[in-house]
Amino acid sequence: MKKGFVLLIFIVILLVLSMIGFYGYRFQTQSLFYSLFPILSWVSADQPILFNHILHQEAVKLNCSFCHRYVERYRSAGIPSIEICRACHSTNAMSKRPEALKVFEYVKANREIPWNRMYELPNYVVFPHWIHIQKKMDCSVCHGMTGVKERPIKMVDRNYMDWCMHCHKKRVASNDCYTCHSS
């Protein structure tokens, strides 16, 4: 009976310390978790077309702003329109791979590709992409392995306030509330 009670007290103390550690040191706790289990820091995103970022970046030499046209001027990077795809996929000559043939079919039908949004911040958070581009930040800082995997990848380890604040602190950027919570 006494051993069971001591074990119960130990478990309760361990849970309380874990909660204090997680809520008091969330960034450090999550960083440690994702460094121990990196495979859990990203998920494959389902898209109507399996867009190959590697092919477009390395083989065709396109940078992110070619498809995400608004990234250098606005808060939102923008989802590529069919007109951007039409520049290269207007004939099936460029479209030998099965996924590229799907793009060609959308272009031929003049239909927008129904891309699924990968990142969406709450309405009370403002993320001006253009400022980060002007500061010469690489897209992979926030978007991680998106450009190094064949499948579209969504990073789940970076979409929280403590991560952003740590990044701002590391780069000596403002951590004032108004910086990210203004209209």
Q: Which domain holds residue 170?
A: 45-80+115-180
Same domain as 5, residue 76 = no
Same domain as 127, residue 63 = yes
The encoded tokens of residue 45 equal 């995103």
**Which band of pLDDT confidence, cut at 50, 70 and 90, is reported for residue 12?**
very high
Same domain as 21, residue 64 = no
For 69-80, what is each residue's pLDDT tens digit? 888 888 888 888
For 19-63, what is each residue's pLDDT tens digit? 777 667 776 777 777 778 877 778 878 889 988 888 888 888 888
Rounded distance between C-alpha atoms, residue 67 and residue 78, angstroms: 8
The answer to whether residue 59 sits within a structural domain is yes
User: How many structural domains does the chain have?
Assistant: 2
Same domain as 9, residue 63 = no
Radius of gyration of the chain (CA): 22
pTM (two decimals): 0.71
**Rounded to an integer, what is the distance from CA 80 to the centroid of its chain?**
16
**Which band of pLDDT confidence, cut at 50, 70 and 90, is reported for residue 175?**
very high
Same domain as 161, residue 72 = yes
Same domain as 3, residue 25 = yes
Rounded distance between C-alpha atoms, residue 74 and residue 80, angstroms: 14
Same domain as 8, residue 75 = no
**Which band of pLDDT confidence, cut at 50, 70 and 90, is reported for residue 1?**
low
- Which secondary structure element, helix H or strand E, spans residue 43, and what is its range? strand 42-44
For 106-146, what is each residue's pLDDT tens digit? 999 999 999 988 888 888 898 888 899 899 998 888 888 77
Residue pair 74/130 in contact (Cβ under 8 Å)? The answer is yes
Q: Where does residue 91 rank: exposed (0-12), middle (13-18), buried (19+ CB within 10 A)?
A: exposed
Q: What is the pLDDT of residue 143?
A: 86
The answer to whether residue 148 sits within a structural domain is yes
The answer to whether residue 164 sits within a structural domain is yes
Same domain as 4, residue 25 = yes
Angle in degrees, CA 170, 172, 175, rounded to 5: 95
The answer to whether residue 3 sits within a structural domain is yes
Q: What is the pLDDT of residue 183?
A: 63
